[in-house]
Structure 1
Amino acid sequence: MYLRLTEEQKMVQETIRKFVKEELIPLENEVLKNEREGRPGLSPEKLKELQLKAKEFGFWGINTPEEYGGANLGQMMLAIVLMELAKTFVPFSFGGSADNILYYANEEQKKKYLLPTISGNKKSCFAMTEPNAGSDTRNIQMTAVKDGNEWVLNGEKTFITGGNEADFVMVIAVTDKELHEQTGRDGVTCFIVDREMGWTSEFIPTMGEGGPASLVFDNVRVPEENILGDVHRGYNLGLEWIGFARWVVGARAVGAAERLLQMAIDYSKERETFGKPIAAHQAIQWMIADSAVDIEAAKWLVLNATFTLDEGEDNRHLASMAKLYGANMGNRVVDRVLQIHGGMGYTKELPIERWYREARLWRIYDGTDEIQRMIIARNLVKGHVKIGQYV
């Protein structure tokens, strides 16, 4: 067992770290100003400019297969990259990638959807959550009824990330109600639906930035060839999409927490009370120490989950653990960092309050804390996972 990054991984990490420091962090004040005035943090033009700069460094399609022009660095390397990117709240992502389930598309679908998404000419989103079906996916109400060689979709999806900007959506709908009620898994199908086919989106205001969307389908007709995967078997695609997203939440929490902790350490050495820096007070030292331990524990959970995936093994149990612990760790750390900064941390002069609002979402989306605990406990109680089996 080797518990250190390889030289290649260190090189990638340092390159990304330099890019974040030199290209992204200097934009933070501009992003905050834009967000507080109701505009996107980054304009599409600025995002494209940054992505082209990153491409010059060789970062394009980090985890995209080489046959599609990507680097295919693997899940663990992707986690390392995401941790570095999360050290800023500037809304940036490297181009050249697509949703993991879009690779299940057939050849015609790949030409029409996958390749344009990788090239950046199209934007996608994934829609499974509904107003009355979040964690309880058995309660999905959106229907798809076959009519000739088309399917007619009716229903609403909510809290869809990227739903306002997407050109097409990969949406889960019930195609066999009786089968779905019996199994809770089968009887739903995944459809690729272009916006021009008739679905509409509306921004959902939240306490955070870059809000999600509500998508409405009113007799939207989708051709048979737009089914992604198999009819009545779309639930597994949904689980695969969510499973990938879960450890990503943990990775982002680690990166943000590392940046926040460094801010707290720097401030604690500058701010003085009772004739000495607050870093000399035990109360502050313990918050710093607890945060450092929290971050390292979450980091190894994330890296273990991604290493397991790279090995071709089922990582769903580890992904749930990384998501649960990572999300809660991020909330604990940002709360301590705000406390260390005192009143200044609560103001909008510093970005801590912005991270504080964002961090609260980590415990909800892509599976709530409660769902992760249920999954972890069920796996152990039913014997799907044995204590200590991963080390």
Structure 2
Amino acid sequence: MDFSLATEERQIRDTVRSFVEKEVMPLEPEVLRNEREDRPALDADVLRDLRAKARKSGFWGINTPEEYGGAALGPIMSAIIAMELGRTFVPFSFGGSADNILYAGTEEQKRRYLLPTIEGERRSCFAITEPGAGSDARNIRTRAVRDGAEWIVNGEKTFITGGNEADFVMVFAVAEPYGVTCFLVDRDMGWRSEPIPTMGQWGPASLVFEDVRVPEENILGEPGRGFELAMEWIGQGRYMIPARAIGSAERMLKMAVDYATIRKSMGRAIAEYQAIQWMIADSQVEIEAAKWLTLYAAWRVREGLDARHASSIAKLNGAVMANQVVDRVLQIHGGMGYTKELPIERWYRELRLLRIFEGTDEIQRRTIARNLIKGHARLGLIGE
């Protein structure tokens, strides 16, 4: 069993790490300043310049198929790159990809939605969560009623990532008599977004649909097959959530180690105290465990195996790990960690979200337990 990376894979990892350190991390003071002044994390021009540099570096569209001009690096390298990007809290990713379910569209839908999204010319959002249907996606109340060659959509979606910036939405509604169906709906068709303030930088939106008319040809996939598309969208990125958290936790642990060696208490560096050493050791163990659970889930995806169970384990473990590590790192830094002079308090707020979105801790535990009880997953297997 070989856990090493190929030479090319190491080169990609090192190049990404260098890009993050030289181009992205220097923007952190600006992001913190903008947050204090209640402004967007990055100025549009700064973000545009950063994206141009990313494209020039050759890492634009890491998950996009080569036939669409992407790098198609695969699940494992995508997870590793996410770990590197997680080392900074600057909201940036090597874009150029598109929501994976858009590949299920017709050729005309790909021309109008997929290709412009890959190029960064259009921005999408995924809307399934409702005020009364969060993790219980089957309880969707948004309705679509046929009216000739159009569908009239009414309902509300909430906590939609990117909903304030998107110019089109993949919205899931119950379309009688078919059932849950996915519609591609341009903003200029009439839906509106309302920002939802949160404790972190994540700025979701509430989307309101009031008699929004959508052409028949804007159905993505087949009528009544929307739930399958939704699960495909949710499942494809679940193992990527702990991947980015691993990078954040590693950087914060390095900050804690460095601080513990210079901060003195009662004449000794606090790194000499067992209480601090145990917090450092526990954090290292938990980070490594999360790393390999995440890479295992990515490996299953790469091999074409069912990765849902492994991804739930990785997501649950990674989310809990990140919150435990940031809490210890803040504790090691004491009062300084609680101030806005250091980025630890920001990570404290940002990482708390991991235990809620893309399936709460409780939903992951329910899924894992149900899989074992019903025999969908078995104990004692390796690489199967």
Q: Deviations over 1:235-272 (max 9, x none)?
A: 01111111122111111111110111011001001101
Q: Deviations over 1:310-348 (max 9, x none)?
A: 111110111111100000000000000000000000001
Aligned pair 1:389/2:381, yes or no? yes
Aligned pair 1:149/2:149, yes or no? yes
Corresponding residue number in structure 2 for 1:243: 235
Corresponding residue number in structure 1 for 2:192: 200
Q: Which amino acid aligns with 1:74?
A: G
Corresponding residue number in structure 1 for 2:343: 351
TM-score by length of 1: 0.96
**Counterparts of 1:380 and 1:96, CA distance in 2:** 38
Corresponding residue number in structure 2 for 1:167: 167
1:35–1:209 CA contact under 8 A, matched in 2: yes
1:247–1:319 CA contact under 8 A, matched in 2: yes
> SS of the counterpart of 1:303?
helix
Q: Which amino acid aligns with 1:139?
A: N
> SS of the counterpart of 2:223?
coil
1:40–1:210 CA contact under 8 A, matched in 2: no
> SS of the counterpart of 2:237?
helix
> SS of the counterpart of 2:239?
helix
Corresponding residue number in structure 1 for 2:125: 125
**Counterparts of 1:31 and 1:380, CA distance in 2:** 44
Q: Deviations over 1:275-318 (max 9, x none)?
A: 11111110000000000000000001110111110111110111
Q: Which amino acid aligns with 1:2?
A: D
Aligned pair 1:48/2:48, yes or no? yes
Corresponding residue number in structure 1 for 2:362: 370
- State the Cα distance separating 1:390 from its structure 2 match: 3.6
Corresponding residue number in structure 1 for 2:134: 134
**Counterparts of 2:337 and 2:228, CA distance in 1:** 43
**Counterparts of 2:46 and 2:124, CA distance in 1:** 20
- State the Cα distance separating 1:139 from its structure 2 match: 1.6
> SS of the counterpart of 1:98?
coil
Q: Which amino acid aligns with 1:258?
A: E
> SS of the counterpart of 1:155?
strand
**Counterparts of 1:43 and 1:99, CA distance in 2:** 24
Moved over 4 A (4+): none
1:197–1:220 CA contact under 8 A, matched in 2: yes
> SS of the counterpart of 1:56?
helix
1:82–1:252 CA contact under 8 A, matched in 2: yes
Q: Which of 218, 221, 224 matches 2:216? A: 224
> SS of the counterpart of 1:208?
coil
**Counterparts of 1:153 and 1:338, CA distance in 2:** 47
> Unaligned 5+ residue runs, structure 1?
180-186
Aligned pair 1:331/2:307, yes or no? no
Q: Which amino acid aligns with 1:11?
A: Q
Corresponding residue number in structure 1 for 2:225: 233
- State the Cα distance separating 1:118 from its structure 2 match: 0.3
| Comparing 211-220 and 90-99, the one that deviates more | 90-99
- State the Cα distance separating 1:388 from its structure 2 match: 2.8
- State the Cα distance separating 1:51 from its structure 2 match: 1.2
Q: Which amino acid aligns with 2:153?
A: L
Corresponding residue number in structure 2 for 1:274: 266
Aligned pair 1:27/2:27, yes or no? yes
- State the Cα distance separating 1:134 from its structure 2 match: 0.3
Corresponding residue number in structure 2 for 1:93: 93
Q: Which amino acid aligns with 1:331?
A: N
